[in-house]
Amino acid sequence: MKIQSVKGTRDFYPPQMAVRNFIIDGWKAASKRCGFVEYDGPIFEYLQMYQIKSGQEIVEQLFNFQDRGGRLLAIRPEITPTLARMVNQQINTLPRPVKWFSVPRLCRAERPQKGRLREFFQWNIDIIGADDVLADAEIVYCSLDYLRSAGLTEKDVVARISSRRLLAALLKNIGIAEDRLDVLYPILDKKSKVPAEAFEEMLQKEVSSGQIIRTIQQLMEVHLVDAIPSIVNLNNEAQAALDEVARVFAYLDRMGVRDFCRFDMGIVRGLAYYTGMVFEIHEVAGELRAICGGGRYDNLLSDFGGPKITATGMGMGDCVLEILLRQKGLLKDDTLDVQTLDYFVVCADAELFDKAVSVAAVLRRKGFSCDFSYKPVALGKQLKQADALKAAQCVIVGQELKESNQLVIKDMKSGEQKLVNADAFLT
Ligand code: HAM
């Protein structure tokens, strides 16, 4: 019976693995450049972890199961709850701010589509214990720093930035009760993802006043801070939130990435735990889903039984990113670092096969990457194999070894050959 791979998963053959490594290496380098250190957690957690504060959408996409001991578990759909749990556990000993990064493999039972799969990799950077919006700006900066290092410019990607704190203040101002906010956020987040009529229908289910619905729709379109007072009066809380947004932009300006950034009230984020600045980075043409998303989540650690410590961070998946890098010609398979070899040992005389095996072993012990043919097949075939494996040089073990204890070293690029003393070469 032939068994297929599961819908929404990927097989990483060596060329795809090279792409995955290329992307992850870039993420890790950007994290380190910005002072983040790496962590990881388990790939499954108690189901409850994701039911506390991630929001209904994530709960509906969980791969969950019961283990043999009757525990209700789920494969991680995100790593932020794990991060909160881990930091809470060591909160008294960790030097703050905690600046950690991770590249977890995640699973979400989403409908597979362009840029969305059921299993993917997601770069996470988070800062815990830094109250100021400078930390929020740092998260946006580091995300852009990576994208810029991958070759993308402000003509390719845009960071859309808003504030849950601002949105909450404005919604309360127009008569939405505080306890309705968590219901509204995931709906507002859908605005750019569903047709206008579907969006209006979803709003109508939760908001009875047509006037309030119209005001919300107007607010979602705002791209200029100055446009807000003509739609909703600014109270002190809204003004304070706006001042924060202005400071985020001022920091981003100082960090040299202001040109990538726009204010956009339509950015709400689907996850329930965000409390302050929220952002997503999109491809400028707007054809693809978000490249990454994140924001401030000041209550998650305390929601998980820890102290009230603030946090901010983001997650970037590998799927949309790979599509975009390919579209822009920034990911060319032939330039990727596929496996290469320092040496390929060629056995030119079947009697010397054992010697060839030990030459390869010695070269490996010296720290070189080295391979050889498992059978003393014809010389031409072995040289072809060396070529296919992208060996830089071949070490030919043949007659010269018998006659004068010498090996032939062939440079595979230039074709040049030279003789070396075997003892000197192998010690
Ligand atoms: P999220 O918006 O659910 O946030 O996911 C962030 C990014 O992960 C998305 O923009 C996308 O690139 C990628 N992603 C999400 N779902 C899929 C999928 N099914 N297939 C491929 N890529 C996907 C979070 O996960 C937050 N925990 C991020 C965060 C960290 N916030 C603060 N710290």
Mutate which of 120, 164, 298, 316 for ligand 1? The one with the most ligand atoms within 8 Å of its CB, which is: 120
Please work out whether the CB of residue 78 comes within 6 Å of at least one atom of ligand 1: yes
Those residues with Cβ within 8 angstroms of residue 217's Cβ, 6 or more apart along the chain or in another chain: 200, 203
Q: Is the CB of 294 under 6 A from ligand 1?
A: yes
Q: Where are the alpha helices (DSSP H) in 174-292?
A: 181-189, 196-206, 210-220, 236-254
Return per-residue pLDDT of the chain as tens, 427 residues: 999 999 999 999 988 999 999 999 999 999 999 999 999 999 999 999 998 877 788 889 999 999 999 999 999 999 999 999 999 999 999 999 999 999 999 999 999 999 999 999 999 999 999 999 999 999 999 999 999 999 999 999 999 999 999 999 999 999 999 999 999 999 999 988 889 899 999 999 998 888 999 999 999 999 998 899 999 989 999 999 999 999 999 999 999 999 999 999 999 998 889 999 999 999 999 889 999 999 999 999 999 999 999 999 999 999 999 999 999 999 977 667 667 899 999 999 999 999 999 999 999 999 999 999 999 899 999 999 999 999 999 999 999 999 999 999 999 999 999 999 999 999 9
CB 187 within 8 A of CB 206: yes
Cα separation of the two ends of the chain: 52
Sorted by where each begins, the domain ranges of the chain are 14-41+79-333, 339-426
Which of 58, 78, 107, 320 to mutate to test ligand 1, by most ligand atoms within 8 A of the CB atom? 78
> From CA 280, how far away is CA 304, in angstroms rounded?
25
For ligand 1, atom 2: residue with the closest CA: 293
Distance CA 259, CA 253 (A): 8
- Which residues, including other chains, have CB under 8 Å from residue 374's CB and lie 6 or more apart? none
Structure token pair of residue 390 = 């992208």
Ligand 1 center–CA 280 separation, angstroms: 10
Beta carbons within 8 Å of 211's beta carbon, 6+ residues apart: none
Q: Report how far residue 209's alpha carbon sits from residue 186's, in angstroms, rounded to the nearest whole number.
A: 19
Query: Do 137 and 22 touch, CB atoms closer than 8 A?
Result: no
Q: Which atom of ligand 1 is nearest to the CA of 315?
A: 28
Which atom belonging to ligand 1 lies closest to the Cα atom of 110? 19
- The CATH code belonging to domain 339-426 is 3.40.50.800
Report the CATH superfamily, name and number, of domain 14-41+79-333. Bira Bifunctional Protein; Domain 2 (3.30.930.10)
Q: Is the CB of 125 under 6 A from ligand 1?
A: no
Alpha-carbon distance 393 to 386, whole Å?
8
